[in-house]
Amino acid sequence: MRVAIVGCGVIGGILARAIDEGRAGDVELVYLFDLDGEKARRLADSLKRRVRVAGSIDEIVRDEAVNLVVEAAAPSAVKEYGEKVLMAGKDLMVLSVGAFHDQELYDRIVEILRERDVHVYIPSGAISGLDAVKAAAMEELEVVELVTRKPPRAFKGNRYVESKGIDLDKVTRPTVLFEGSAREAAPLFPKGINVALSLSLAGIGADRTKVKVIADPTINRNVHEIHAKGSFGRLLCVTHNYPSPENPETSYLAALSAVRTLRNLTEKLRIGT
Ligand SMILES: NC(=O)c1ccc[n+]([C@@H]2O[C@H](COP(=O)([O-])OP(=O)(O)OC[C@H]3O[C@@H](n4cnc5c(N)ncnc54)[C@H](O)[C@@H]3O)[C@@H](O)[C@H]2O)c1
């Protein structure tokens, strides 16, 4: 399988190195692309095998040798390139899954998948438990809730939090910043919404999936809890995320999950739902 990576930041870098070192399955990395061309060039130069640096997304889309494009850039990249990639007959892996809170974009992508022999892969990212939620959603799933706790400093610069008049430097006990649906949370927490969207897509949708966001001064890592209840029983799944070695903003598990998703594609034995 020949792969192009779009976005050469934390996740793109970890994925490129995993492919380069043969840890991501039977996969060849053929292109890197980043709006910041210098970043793509530096990453390419750091790899053992030769990789082309694309000057534009069109260069990748035109190349018939590419089978899969991995988006590890930004929600705007999913919006700008997603349909183009799929219409060119290539599969797409999406890390910026928060882009799918735009229902029209999601519906257009699903329509393309219905009509063409192409696939979209969404790694579990920074949360665990999607396997069970997916299975449980095969029957009645009454409740799915995500409780996200982050240290108060993680919400610095968030306009919604500022508008509530909360002084993050003075938060001394766990404080609920938001409670509502995943769909409502998406525009308010653009940085942290990927996990809420993956959970929604795996389970009962963005309108029925509940989200609680807590600024918690007692922790120094991001913690995601999934609570679910249905005909399968009850689930509580807690993930304490360590930051990536390269960038504290990105949970390391998200990058590892992208590597594993890629490896799944060329493995004949698949474990987990
Ligand atoms: N699914 C999850 O659980 C999860 C977890 C962490 C991050 N993410 C998302 O994955 C994406 C990548 O994360 P990261 O930590 O590697 O980010 P990063 O900021 O380290 O790297 C992103 C890179 O993409 C480039 N870029 C941005 N827009 C682009 C575009 N339109 N075309 C080409 N290149 C573009 C930037 O220049 C940057 O180099 C982000 O959208 C992030 O929100 C998802």
Q: Are strands 91-94 and 120-121 parallel, antiparallel or unpaired?
A: parallel
Give me the pLDDT at residue 133, please.
98
In this predicted model, what pLDDT tens digit does every residue of 232-249 receive, in sequence order?
999 999 999 998 887 777
In this structure, are 136 and 158 located in the same domain? yes
- Residue 56 Cβ contacting ligand 1 at under 6 Å: no
Segment 202-220 mean pLDDT: 96
User: Closest ligand 1 atom to the C-alpha of 191?
Assistant: 43
Contact 218, 152 (CB under 8 A): no
- Domain at 7, CATH number: 3.40.50.720
Give me the pLDDT at residue 27, please.
97
Question: For atom 19 of ligand 1, which residue has the closest CA?
Answer: 9
Contact 203, 145 (CB under 8 A): no
Question: For atom 26 of ligand 1, which residue has the closest CA?
Answer: 73
**Angle at 117 (CA atoms; ends 119, 5), nearest 5 degrees:** 40
User: Is residue 271 a part of any domain in this protein?
Assistant: no
User: Is residue 42 a part of any domain in this protein?
Assistant: yes
> By mean pLDDT, which of 12-21, 65-74, 109-118, 246-255 is the weakest?
246-255
* 227-257 per-residue burial string, b: 16 or more CB within 10 A, e: under 16: bbbbebeebebebebeebeeeeebbbbbbbb
Band the pLDDT of 261: cuts 50, 70, 90.
very high
Domain count, the chain: 2
- Residue 34 Cβ contacting ligand 1 at under 6 Å: yes
8, 34, 93, best to mutate for ligand 1 pocket (most atoms within 8 Å of CB):
34
User: Is residue 155 a part of any domain in this protein?
Assistant: yes
Give me the pLDDT at residue 74, please.
94
In this predicted model, what pLDDT tens digit does every residue of 21-53 receive, in sequence order?
999 999 999 999 999 999 999 999 999 999 999
Q: What percent of the chain has a predicted confidence (pLDDT) above 70?
A: 100
Which domain covers residue 142, as residue numbers? Answer: 130-244
User: Is residue 26 a part of any domain in this protein?
Assistant: yes
Segment 105-117 mean pLDDT: 97
Q: Please tell me the distance between residue 58's alpha carbon and the centre of ligand 1 in angstroms.
A: 19
pLDDT surpasses 90 at 3: yes
User: Closest ligand 1 atom to the C-alpha of 75?
Assistant: 41
194, 251, 257, best to mutate for ligand 1 pocket (most atoms within 8 Å of CB):
194
Segment 182-206 mean pLDDT: 92
Q: Please tell me the distance between residue 76's alpha carbon and the centre of ligand 1 in angstroms.
A: 10
User: Is residue 273 a part of any domain in this protein?
Assistant: no
In this structure, are 137 and 117 located in the same domain? no
In this structure, are 156 and 111 located in the same domain? no
Q: 263 by DSSP, 3-state: which?
A: helix
In this structure, are 43 and 86 located in the same domain? yes
In this structure, are 61 and 14 located in the same domain? yes
Give me the pLDDT at residue 21, please.
98
User: Closest ligand 1 atom to the C-alpha of 36?
Assistant: 37
Give me the pLDDT at residue 248, please.
76
Question: For atom 27 of ligand 1, which residue has the closest CA?
Answer: 73
Which of 25, 23, 43 has the alpha carbon at shortest distance from 33?
43
Mean of the per-residue pLDDT values of the chain: 95
Question: For atom 3 of ligand 1, which residue has the closest CA?
Answer: 125
**Exactly one of 101, 224, 227, 240 is catalytic; which is it?**
224
User: Is residue 193 a part of any domain in this protein?
Assistant: yes
In this structure, are 142 and 106 located in the same domain? no
The CA-atom distances, in angstroms, between 169 and each of 156, 164, 175, 191, 243 are 9, 14, 12, 20, 21
Band the pLDDT of 172: cuts 50, 70, 90.
very high
Give all strands of the β-sheet with 175-181 in edge-to-edge order.
Answer: 175-181, 210-215, 141-150, 222-230, 233-241
User: Is residue 80 a part of any domain in this protein?
Assistant: yes
In this structure, are 193 and 81 located in the same domain? no
Q: Is 240 a catalytic residue?
A: no
